[in-house]
Structure 1
Amino acid sequence: MAFADYIPMLLRPSILLFMSIKHFILTMFEIVFQERQPSKLLNLTDLRFRSFARLWAANGEAMSVEMPGPLNSLLSQCSGLVLDIGPGSGEMLSRFNPKRIKAIYGAEPAVDLHPGLVRNATKAGFGGKYHALLCGGEPESLIPALAKSGVLGGNGATGGTADDGIFDEICCVRVLCGVPTPRETVKGLYKLLKPGGRMVVCEHVVNPWRTEGRVLARVVQLVYTLLGWPFFMGGCELQRHTEVFLREAGEWEEFKLAYVDPQHAVPFIVGELKKAGALKVSEGGARSLR
């Protein structure tokens, strides 16, 4: 690839950064001039969540038309009891097959995105199967929300607990970049996955400049970070070592992740992981853990 053709790929994220700054400023104006509650500006956490929700409400659908790698196929195969981390306003829900899913729990911390999330869940055909949770993916936020929803407890409804696994599938699509404690969050999600359960992953990560990536793309990631990408993008980090966190989370029977656009400033890892420990039937008919 010629260098002149490569430059637009490095600069493309700057458009999103500028858009996020615009929505941050518009949110501040809205609070001060429309709501007339300038004291709300002192709560930076709420201000950032609100401005990012505004950005996503305006652009999330357009940003979700084309997804990297085989993500659409992976999501269409989801079945059973599903946990969807950070669904936003539900742009990915049309990729799932409601007929294969018993119930799906969407953990979304931005309250301003919930109306769109519920609306898109209905539009996708989930009806009462979809449960929107006002929480993040980190254990201290997710576990209480799941407990409140009634899905925890090891009863006949779920067949598991937060310690030995509840969900048949867990989906992480463009979300682990923004959780405050990624290593602990991934370990918590691993525990929530049933033995033999599958995790679907689509996350942008630190550029693999030592192998498939480029040094220049890695430098550009650092520049965007210094320009305020995490602050204006709702805590999103461009330099996360998400693959490492996933490998460290526990024992996987299958670990199938591949880079998509590794030379870009925003490369992705996309694929599926299968938790070890599924029950199998031996030749004598007895069941054992593998």
Structure 2
Amino acid sequence: MPSLNSQWLQSLLDPFFMMKSAIYHYVRILILEIFEGNVPLSAAQWQKIRDSAFSFFWLQYSGEREKGKKIAPSKNTPSASAALIPQLLSQATGTVLEIGPGSGTCMQFLQGSQITQIYGAEPCIGLHRQLRSEASRYKMQDRYHVLNASANVGSLTHELIRKEEITSFEAGDTLFDTIICVRVLCSVPDPKETVSGLYGLLRPGGQMLICEHVSNPWRTSKGSIISRIFQGLYMLLGWAYFMGDCRLDQDTERILLGTADEDKGWGNIDLEVEEQWSLFPCLHGSLTKKR
């Protein structure tokens, strides 16, 4: 771990400012609901408030990142992932599934001619308008398709059938040459089930491209027990509730390596972890499915 410098301290404080902004939007929308007389609130209304608040937060947050450099990390970037994403996504080919594209910040790196179609599975409807706007901005509206779906196989295939992208789906069908997961697996309800399902949708020889923040490896020489403690502290303060169910303390690498089909498995694994000292260690690289 590096010495106690401004970069490390900033990594400990970044979540505080992110969470502060997310809570502001949550409280604002909650007050509007109360003033409009929508009380008592049902479970569905509470969830709608959470989704709307996170949409406003993420549009603001990603917009601030856009004002800075597009590739180099900035003060608004919670890890080294911004610098890693362009090269990582340049590996995408064929029919691509992007899980949780958010407001479309990765779209600029998916314009290569080696990509035929892209499906962006985004369950937060409040972000769909911005996604479509980004597709038009990069002249990708004919090959970027926004899906109102989560990372769950049932949700994905239902939406693909509804939009007539496929006519039917049976267990064992493979649909995608590349699956992209950028800062999203930390938020899915059941990551093991999700990864297993995505693995099943990947064609033989296809790649899963990964860029995810993970639990700090504090037991290793490059990890930080202080950063790990802060991860736990932010989780106790409600990070997941206000930040779209994001988990700071998830061991995503173990999940990725442990949920593939035992017979076929991954043919090639190329994963690394950057900034292991920080509160946002970044797991990045690719997993290739055996042919």
Question: Given the two structures, how large is their TM-score scaled by the length of structure 2?
Answer: 0.87
Match in the other structure for 1:94: 108
What CA deviation, in whole Å up to 9, does each residue of 1:205-224 have, x standing for no partner? 11111123111111110000
Q: 1:40 to 1:124 in 2, by over 3 A?
A: farther
- Do 1:106 and 1:133's aligned partners in 2 also have CA atoms closer than 8 Å? yes
Match in the other structure for 2:210: 201
Shift of 1:2: 2.8
Name the aligned partner's letter for residue 232 of structure 1: F
Distance in 2 (alpha carbons) for counterparts of 1:112 and 1:79: 28
Distance in 2 (alpha carbons) for counterparts of 1:49 and 1:191: 28
Name the aligned partner's letter for residue 142 of structure 2: G
Aligned-pair Cα RMSD in Å: 2.0
Q: 1:161 to 1:90 in 2, by over 3 A?
A: farther
Name which of 125, 135, 145 aligns with 2:159. Answer: 145
Name the aligned partner's letter for residue 102 of structure 1: T
Report the identity percentage: 36
- Do 1:177 and 1:238's aligned partners in 2 also have CA atoms closer than 8 Å? yes
Match in the other structure for 1:13: 15
Please tell me whether residue 109 in structure 1 is matched to residue 123 in structure 2. Answer: yes
Shift of 1:40: 4.7
What CA deviation, in whole Å up to 9, does each residue of 1:110-142 have, x standing for no partner? 111000001101112212111111111122322
What CA deviation, in whole Å up to 9, does each residue of 1:56-103 have, x standing for no partner? 111123346433453211212312100000001211101112422211
Shift of 1:17: 1.1
Instruction: Give the length in aligned residue pairs.
Output: 271
Match in the other structure for 1:283: none
Name which of 63, 88, 94 aligns with 1:74. Answer: 88
Distance in 2 (alpha carbons) for counterparts of 1:38 and 1:169: 45
Secondary structure of the corresponding residue to residue 113 of structure 2: helix
Question: Given the two structures, how large is their TM-score scaled by the length of structure 1?
Answer: 0.87
Q: How does 1:250-261 map to 2 (within 5 A)?
A: 250=260, 251-261=265-275
What CA deviation, in whole Å up to 9, does each residue of 1:262-290 have, x standing for no partner? 1111111011111112xxxxxxxxxxxxx
Match in the other structure for 1:288: none
What CA deviation, in whole Å up to 9, does each residue of 1:204-245 have, x standing for no partner? 111111123111111110000000000000111111111111
Match in the other structure for 1:234: 244
- Do 1:106 and 1:131's aligned partners in 2 also have CA atoms closer than 8 Å? yes
Shift of 1:148: 2.1
Q: How does 1:181-220 map to 2 (within 5 A)?
A: 181-211=190-220, 212-220=222-230
- Do 1:20 and 1:51's aligned partners in 2 also have CA atoms closer than 8 Å? yes
What CA deviation, in whole Å up to 9, does each residue of 1:176-211 have, x standing for no partner? 111101100000000010000011111111111112
Match in the other structure for 1:50: 52
Name the aligned partner's letter for residue 2 of structure 1: S
Distance in 2 (alpha carbons) for counterparts of 1:78 and 1:40: 43
Structure 2 unaligned segments of length 5 or more: list them.
74-80
Name the aligned partner's letter for residue 204 of structure 2: P
Match in the other structure for 1:248: 258
Secondary structure of the corresponding residue to residue 180 of structure 2: strand
Moved over 4 A (4+): 39-42
Distance in 1 (alpha carbons) for counterparts of 2:203 and 2:89: 18
Name the aligned partner's letter for residue 53 of structure 1: S
Name the aligned partner's letter for residue 209 of structure 1: W
Secondary structure of the corresponding residue to residue 142 of structure 2: helix
- Do 2:132 and 2:141's aligned partners in 1 also have CA atoms closer than 8 Å? no
- Do 1:77 and 1:97's aligned partners in 2 also have CA atoms closer than 8 Å? no
Structure 1 unaligned segments of length 5 or more: list them.
155-159, 278-290
Greater relative CO, 1 or 2 (CA 8 Å, sep 6+): 2
Match in the other structure for 2:186: 177
Q: 1:53 to 1:107 in 2, by over 3 A?
A: same
